[in-house]
């Protein structure tokens, strides 16, 4: 790799949707696997802390990054028919997620229409098993290819090996920082199994006067998301900052005596998932703002940067939210966003 291709002191402001103004000591982009292999073999890479960056929509930089940031620009989408109705669609990790959704819809392939408009790149989608409107990528995931940082070898991971959970995977746990995801393969189908039961999809379709099909569901999801979530281009944010917590049913029943409308989605015989946004709102923090760091006025699960907030200020605000929710409900919220 040409050493000139590694830039020094690159601002990351345009590379994270919070719009946090920090620098990376070293920064390199790659659009070919060969280039990535060369970067991995370079002394700059091997002697420094490393971070692989996609769209920067699930990350909070709390300080300058004293190491090398690799920005993934691998492109390409292809499909192979595997049965009468089913296709394996493989997308390079640097493809924008929503572009993959559009590709699927254009090719009459169902399965990811409910995941329309989730920001970020395909390569990060397995990291936290992205999900929305009743669908997670684990539902249509086949396999992925990733380069092992230590050896430069490319390994294929099955769904089982990815150990997907709610906003979780092997790559956020034991595999953290050890692999660079290069390509992800999904099974999509021309025999559509529509899922309109979640959220306000049905109401939105009725409002649109549109029949349920993959194209209209995608549009309905786009409409709902655009009306509910702040656009990072206008107001810095990383979507849901916290995971929805799982508590015991006994704990839930106790809280429900005081909070009659406390949401609950049973997970198993002992546990129930509740809504972090509800808890934050009940702590009186919806719309709370300290300098330029705030809890969004319409969606308490989203923390926002009103302009010049530092990553530290956003992080401190998230700690305050965790403290207040713990104090009021005895529930420990977990951050969903990757803190760097």
Ligand X SMILES: Cc1cc2nc3c(=O)[nH]c(=O)nc-3n(C[C@H](O)[C@H](O)[C@H](O)COP(=O)(O)OP(=O)(O)OC[C@H]3O[C@@H](n4cnc5c(N)ncnc54)[C@H](O)[C@@H]3O)c2cc1C
Closest CA to 141 of 188, 182, 77: 188
User: Out of 90, 114, 128, 216, which residue is the one contacting ligand X (CB under 6 A)?
Assistant: 128
14-53 binders of ligand X (CB under 6 A): 17, 51-53
Distance CA 56, CA 158 (A): 25
Choice between 55 and 255, CB closer to ligand X:
55
| Alpha carbon 325 to its chain's center | 23
> Does 299 contact ligand X by CB under 6 A?
no
User: Out of 12, 68, 130, 135, which residue is the one contacting ligand X (CB under 6 A)?
Assistant: 130
Tokens describing residue 76: 């390409």
180-209 binders of ligand X (CB under 6 A): 180-181
Distance CA 196, CA 212 (A): 8
According to DSSP, the residues that pair with 92 across neighbouring strands are 183
Q: Are 35 and 73 in contact (CB under 8 A)?
A: no
Query: Can 29 be counted among the known catalytic residues?
Result: no
User: Out of 237, 244, 274, 313, which residue is the one contacting ligand X (CB under 6 A)?
Assistant: 237
Give, for 103, the enclosing helix (H) or strand (E): helix 97-106
Query: Can 167 be counted among the known catalytic residues?
Result: yes
Give the active site residue among 95, 113, 136, 336.
336
Size of the site for ligand X (CB under 6 A): 32
Q: Are 65 and 48 in contact (CB under 8 A)?
A: no
Q: Which stretch binds ligand X (CB under 6 A): 194-202, 232-240, 266-274, 282-290?
A: 232-240
Query: Can 225 be counted among the known catalytic residues?
Result: no
Choice between 255 and 293, CB closer to ligand X:
293
Q: Are 169 and 154 in contact (CB under 8 A)?
A: no
Give the active site residue among 57, 167, 204, 310.
167
Give, for 337, the enclosing helix (H) or strand (E): none
User: Out of 19, 54, 111, 311, which residue is the one contacting ligand X (CB under 6 A)?
Assistant: 54
Choice between 182 and 279, CB closer to ligand X:
182
Q: Are 143 and 157 in contact (CB under 8 A)?
A: yes
Q: Are 38 and 317 in contact (CB under 8 A)?
A: no
3-state SS assignment for residue 46: helix
> Does 58 contact ligand X by CB under 6 A?
yes
> Does 175 contact ligand X by CB under 6 A?
no
Choice between 122 and 285, CB closer to ligand X:
122
Q: Which stretch binds ligand X (CB under 6 A): 41-49, 54-62, 199-207, 209-217?
A: 54-62
Give the active site residue among 240, 310, 318, 335.
240
Choice between 11 and 83, CB closer to ligand X:
11
Q: At residue 68, what are phi and psi to the nearest 5 degrees?
A: -110, 130
SS3 track for 260-312: CCCCCEECCCCEEECCHHHHHHHCCCCCCEECCEEECCCCCCEEEECCCCCHH
User: Out of 6, 59, 224, 283, which residue is the one contacting ligand X (CB under 6 A)?
Assistant: 59
Distance CA 28, CA 5 (A): 6
80-99 binders of ligand X (CB under 6 A): 93
In angstroms, give the least distance from the CB of 56 to ligand X. Answer: 5
Active-site residue list? 167, 240, 336
Note the residues at the interface with ligand X (CB under 6 A): 17, 51-59, 72, 93, 118-121, 123-125, 127-128, 130-132, 180-181, 229, 232, 237-239, 338
């Amino acid at each position: 790799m040409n050493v000139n291709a590694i830039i020094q002191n690159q601002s990351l402001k345009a590379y994270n949707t919070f719009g946090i103004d920090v620098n990376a000591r070293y920064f390199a982009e790659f659009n070919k696997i060969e280039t990535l292999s060369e970067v991995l073999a370079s002394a700059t890479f091997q002697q420094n802390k490393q971070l692989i960056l996609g769209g920067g929509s699930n990350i909070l930089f709390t300080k300058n990054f004293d190491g090398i940031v690799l920005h993934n620009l691998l492109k390409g989408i292809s499909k192979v028919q595997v049965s009468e109705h089913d296709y394996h669609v493989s997308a390079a990790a640097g493809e924008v997620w929503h572009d993959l959704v559009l590709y699927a819809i254009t090719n009459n392939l169902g399965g990811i229409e409910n995941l329309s408009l989730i920001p970020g790149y395909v390569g990060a989608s397995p990291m936290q098993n992205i999900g929305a409107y009743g669908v997670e990528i684990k539902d249509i995931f086949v396999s992925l290819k990733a380069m092992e940082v230590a050896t430069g070898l490319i390994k294929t991971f099955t769904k089982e090996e990815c150990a997907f959970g709610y906003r979780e995977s092997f790559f956020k746990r034991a595999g953290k920082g050890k692999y660079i995801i290069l390509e992800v393969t999904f099974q999509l189908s021309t025999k559509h199994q529509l899922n309109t039961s979640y959220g306000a999809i049905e109401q939105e379709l009725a409002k649109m006067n549109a029949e349920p099909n993959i194209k209209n569901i995608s549009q309905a999801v786009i409409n709902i998301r655009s009306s509910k979530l702040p656009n990072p281009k206008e107001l810095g944010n990383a979507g849901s900052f916290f995971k929805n917590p799982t508590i015991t049913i006994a704990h839930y029943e106790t809280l429900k005596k005081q909070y009659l409308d406390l949401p609950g989605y049973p997970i198993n015989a002992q546990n129930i998932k509740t809504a972090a946004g509800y808890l934050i709102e009940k702590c009186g923090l919806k719309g709370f703002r300290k300098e330029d760091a705030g809890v969004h006025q319409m969606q308490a699960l989203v923390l926002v940067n009103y302009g010049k907030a530092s990553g530290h200020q956003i992080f401190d605000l998230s700690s305050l939210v965790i403290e207040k929710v713990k104090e009021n409900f005895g529930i420990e919220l977990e951050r969903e966003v990757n803190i760097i």
